[in-house]
Amino acid sequence: MAATASHVSYAVGALPLETQLFIGGKYVDTKSGIKFDTIDPATEEVIATMHGAGKEDIDDAVAAATSAFEITKRMSGSERRNCLLKLADLIEKHRAQIAEIESRDNGKPRHIADTVDIMYVIECFRYYAGWADKVGGKVLMPTHNSHSTFAYTTHEPVGVCGQIIPWNFPLLMAAWKLGPALAMGCTTVLKLSEKTPLSMLMLGHLFNEAGFPAGTVNIVNGYGNPTGDLIARHPGIRKVAFTGSSFVGHKIVTASAETNLKKVSLELGGKSALIVCKDADLDEAATAAHVGLFLNMGQCCVASSRIFVDEEIAEAFTAKVVALAKTLRQGASEGHGDGAIDLSLPTAVPICDLGPQVDKIQFDKILGFIEVGKAEGATCVLGGSRVGTKGYFVAPTIFTGVTDTMTICKEEIFGPVMQVLTFKDNNEAIRRANSSVYGLAAGICTRDVGNALAMAKELEAGSIWINCYNNFDMACPFGGYKESGWGRDKGEYALENYTEVKCVMIPIAIQK
């Protein structure tokens, strides 16, 4: 372990900050010699120097996962359930510390990391613990020779899986992929983002303590090239799950096609629409838009960044979302860095408190989009600049006068930048909402239930929120249409990503 910043030391009994690779149940140095720094986005200071994985490291991780799979595929559902429940309990035990390091590495305020991210991580593992001993097959009645054939199916673990995790919700996105994989008996090589590797890497200790066989979960760090590409192309990996950009999603599909046709599930980009009808409760609609856009500093794949508002209520709605955005508390996470969040300030939606963007690359990209929006004729009614001189803070920004052809309306900004558009009737709003290449999520605000359900049927998106936004439950599947991905995370549907279906048939006859 080689942490390089003094503020990451912890008390006796706490989890150590790990910077190595976690392979075969042990923390090991990189064989490739790859090293990189992870940065605190609130202070722009180095937190730690990390070990990155190259070809030898990935080969070792796949070998460890392959060996562990010989054990996990024979474990009973109740054994897998018990390991997942123990893991959830251990995360809860270390919750405060894990939330702190998640905050420092990612930038989100610590109280949000705790009450949103870590809470849902715990819930995720407990949810899939409940599935571990309940997944079975079916007894079939073949349509031909039905009296002389007995047939049944089994759902078996797919094997060694590669799981590539984004930086915006490092622990939660890892849990969404690990939960169903471990419930089904798979083993994994989990690649963390080079931007946010610390929190998940610490959990290697907890996988061991929870009783998972060594090598069940292997955790590696590194950039997309070479680490991610090595996972996508490795012949020993039978399935890859990825959350990230559509651009990289295309590359993963290509890698699968060019190698061993490994199964692929993808949760990709979005440019989600929120439609505010003229009969909507404006306070409710403004809150939905606020949560939908400003959650996690706008770094959310389902962000409601295209807000279509009936032209009759656009002025009143805009006034409300601007007023809400002005209540946002912005600064570094409590107790770390300069400009700490003042928890005494009022805010309508505490989960939208804004920390810094994850790194300078993202920071510069967002500010660039803001300038393009101004140049293309949109009206910036709030924000539009950085905050302070230290840390990657962007002011909550709202544009009006946005049209469908503007860059900020077409591209995924992934920052606290809201675009307000107007429409004349609901059919127009649906048509324009569906015009995007993405289809991850959408929202509708209306007091007419029949209208809401009819519009939900027409919208091309995997999640539809009505009179709310960013409501999540582990039982509800999550994924997208079109270039927003393949397959679903969460819920029972996610188990399909990690299973092979086997059909067994045997002739039967009564002996004479």
Catalytic residue ranges = 267
DSSP H stretches of helix in 94-245? 95-106, 110-112, 119-132, 170-184, 198-202, 204-210, 229-233
Question: How many CB atoms within 10 Å of residue 427?
Answer: 11
Phi (first) and psi of residue 131, to 5 degrees: -85, -20
Q: Please tell me the distance from the alpha carbon of residue 222 to that of residue 34, in angstroms, as a whole number.
A: 8
In the block, which residue shows the tokens 């101004």?
A: 374
Residue closest to 500 by CA, chosen among 78, 213, 235, 153? 153
What does the DSSP 8-state code read for residue 296?
A: G
Phi (first) and psi of residue 239, to 5 degrees: -155, 140
Q: Please tell me the distance from the alpha carbon of residue 15 to that of residue 419, in angstroms, as a whole number.
A: 42
Helices and strands counted in the chain (H then E): 16, 22
CA atoms 117, 122, 127, 129: torsion sign: positive
Phi (first) and psi of residue 162, to 5 degrees: -100, 135
- 226 cis-preceded (ω within 30 degrees of 0): yes
